[in-house]
Chain A
Amino acid sequence: MIEVRALTKSFRDKKRGTFRAVDELSFDCPGGPVFGLLGLNGAGKTTTLRVLATMLKPDSGTAKLAGFDLLDDPESVRRKIGFLTGNTGLYLRLTGREILHYFGQLEGMTRKAVDARITIFSQLLDMESFLDTRVDKYSTGMKQKVSIARTLIHDPPVLILDEPTLGLDVVTSRAIVEFIRAAKTDGKAVIFSTHHMHEAARLCDTIGVIHEGRMKRLATLADLKREYATEDLDTIFLRIIADGRP
């Protein structure tokens, strides 16, 4: 459901001049499996995911999400994706319900349709008790639940998640992991980046390791484990980065 073709994105800054943060990246992620994007700080994960979410325009190359090309029809692409990052905030002065309504309606849903989805999520994520309280009174866990519901409110076939568990405690992280797993079961295509190898090991079907904007290795998790003869993704990751052979 995600097809990335020779995606390239350059930035300019004072120190480095013009440089490629994403360099001719290509990969596929069919519906069902989860694609894990791994890489060191500055490897280009966030940039890739922002381009996929149509927030940034690629310099060259393109990608198709749920059948729509992100250059030709970015708005349709945005309708098909749910986007969540570890830094995504919520509007502090609105209630959880108001936020879900806002984004649901921006997706083109009717009020009624949004209400129906909210009912489902508030049971699923146990949000009834706080959904009508303003977000500035929420704990991090509560915010995360509303964020998850916000990402899924329009039932998107594609999920783009950038370090979704950043800064979360074990319990809250687990909620995110469960949410990704459920999305996979629903047949959604999930692409997510993380620095937590155990999460990637638990969730991903396919792993893409990017380094300095280039795809260093692209393989299924099972193949990697076989090839490197270890269950430990940490070790595998480090070897790939170090360009080590098995």
Chain B
Amino acid sequence: MNLRQVKLVYCKELKDILRDRRTLRLMILVPVVLYPLMSIGISSLMMSMIKKQEGKAAPILVLGASSELRAALESSERKIELVPMDVFIATVEALDPEEYPARIHLDAWRADPYSGLSDSVQTRFYYACVKGRAADCILEIPPNLIGSAEDPDSLHARIFYDEQEFRSDAAESKVRAVLRDWRDTLSMTMLREAGMDDGAARRAFKPFWISNRDVAPAEKKTGFMLAMMLPYMIILMVMLGAMYPAIELTAGEKERGTLETILASPAGRTEITLGKFLCVFTAAIATVILGSFSMTFTSSLGMFQFGNEGSADVGTFNLAVNPSSLIVVVLLMLPTGALLSALLLSISVMARSFKEAQGYITPLMFLVIIPSMIAFMPGIELTAGLAWVPVANIALGVKAAMLTAKGEAFPWAVLGMVFLSTMIYASFALFLVRQMFNKESVLFRT
């Protein structure tokens, strides 16, 4: 082994790919610029959409409500606007029958809005009404809703909405909230009318509150989301970062006719292989490091929003990651980067051109990305057996490391096994690349 040659090849290849815009774009631009921009963009877009919907009056059609309920809806600070029946009908009438075939049921509906249509037809009709913007949702109050002697279980105020439609979903929440408040008031009134004094009524109505507190340590909470996403993200980033260099250094050389020149030079095949491999490996690791920094930074800005508004765990991602977890993850990334770089090289060296190599790499992408998704599955933990399943072991290893809170011991035994097995696979893949670089039928494929 001539280390000087390895170093020469490595330095030259590194210089070469660092001047390649395509490579740089994937290595730097995607993780460092595009990724934060996307998450910032998406979350701020979501926020502004929510804000906008909240601030806008939601047009709703109310069927059969008492004047008190109407007043409660109209005066609500949640901004609800009641659509007059004639306006509603006029809008539905004006709908294009081609686009909204359910419009034809308007007459039957007008004749009897409660039961003029069968359930399935009613669903389609209201869908058309919401889509056609006659109203964002429809609230149906049966005439006997209040004060009837019927079994309360059969009494329903119904809201028709389209959850896929953002404005309709927002209108539904508003109406539901007002309706709930109104029902609470009603309960209180009824209790008072039944002769209870205020205190007793309140106690009878709501004898106690239920509150809860999540006691998981902060690292666990953060770790959980991050631990699911990170393995997939990291493996994807390694693949993206290493892909172009791997192609460029093999098929790219064939395509441009530089391969013969290097083969006719005194550089040995092993030295060439190693130099190229180290260069691709560097690109892979650099991408991971850049990407991790960028993800950490983006997350620390609180750009990840999880949970529903109104649910207890509206969370911004507080980045309480255990620092030693990150070190373990980086350690795991070393054999991973080596394995994926060698795999990419061994596949792209077979191609005759850049295009062809890209075609070969696409299936490899799937082969690698899919097992990395194992970390998304709850309940699957790293075991001694799984530690030998390539790629999946890394995903689970990263997840296990991320879920280890400060002060807890890492599962060193299995993590060590992941490291070891990946190293073995990586050496095997590297050996494969070297064999390829010695094969005439691979280098001079016609």
| Residues of chain A with a CB closer than 8 A to B261's CB | 83, 88-89, 103, 150
| Alpha-carbon gap, A61 to B336, bound state (A) | 45
Q: Do residues A108 and B266 form an inter-chain contact, with CB atoms below 8 A? A: yes
Min C-beta distance of B195 to chain A, whole Å: 90
**Number of contact residues on B: which range applies?**
20 to 34
| Alpha-carbon gap, A181 to B263, bound state (A) | 26
| Alpha-carbon gap, A102 to B268, bound state (A) | 14
Q: Which residues from 71 to 95 on chain A have a C-beta closer than 8 Å to any C-beta of chain B?
A: 75, 78-79, 81, 83, 85, 87-94
| Residues of chain A with a CB closer than 8 A to B213's CB | none
Min C-beta distance of B6 to chain A, whole Å: 11
A91-B16, A93-B20, A94-B15 are contacts. A55–B8 as well, Cβ < 8 Å? no
| Residues of chain A with a CB closer than 8 A to B258's CB | 88-91
* B5 on interface, CB distance cutoff 8 Å: yes
Contact with A along B234-277 (1 / 0, CB 8 A): 00000000000000000000001110111111111000000000
Min C-beta distance of B279 to chain A, whole Å: 13
| Residues of chain A with a CB closer than 8 A to B19's CB | 93-94, 134
Contact with B along A84-118 (1 / 0, CB 8 A): 01011111111000100011011110000000000
| Residues of chain A with a CB closer than 8 A to B20's CB | 93
| Alpha-carbon gap, A178 to B257, bound state (A) | 24
Q: Do residues A102 and B256 form an inter-chain contact, with CB atoms below 8 A? A: no
Q: Do residues B444 and A106 form an inter-chain contact, with CB atoms below 8 A? A: no
Q: Do residues A93 and B260 form an inter-chain contact, with CB atoms below 8 A? A: no
Known: A91-B256, A91-B258, A98-B15. 17 other contacts (CB 8 A): A54-B264, A55-B444, A56-B440, A81-B264, A83-B260, A83-B261, A83-B264, A85-B257, A87-B257, A91-B16, A93-B15, A93-B20, A94-B19, A103-B265, A106-B5, A107-B265, A160-B264
Point out residues on B near A: beta carbons under 8 Å: 5, 8-9, 12, 15-16, 19-20, 256-258, 260-268, 440, 443-444, 446
Point out residues on A near B: beta carbons under 8 Å: 13, 50, 53-57, 75, 78-79, 81, 83, 85, 87-94, 98, 102-103, 105-108, 134, 150, 160
Q: List 25 A-B contacts (CB under 8 A).
A: A13-B446, A50-B260, A53-B260, A55-B260, A57-B440, A75-B266, A75-B268, A78-B264, A79-B266, A83-B260, A83-B264, A87-B260, A88-B261, A89-B257, A93-B20, A94-B16, A94-B19, A98-B12, A103-B261, A106-B5, A106-B9, A106-B262, A106-B266, A150-B261, A160-B264
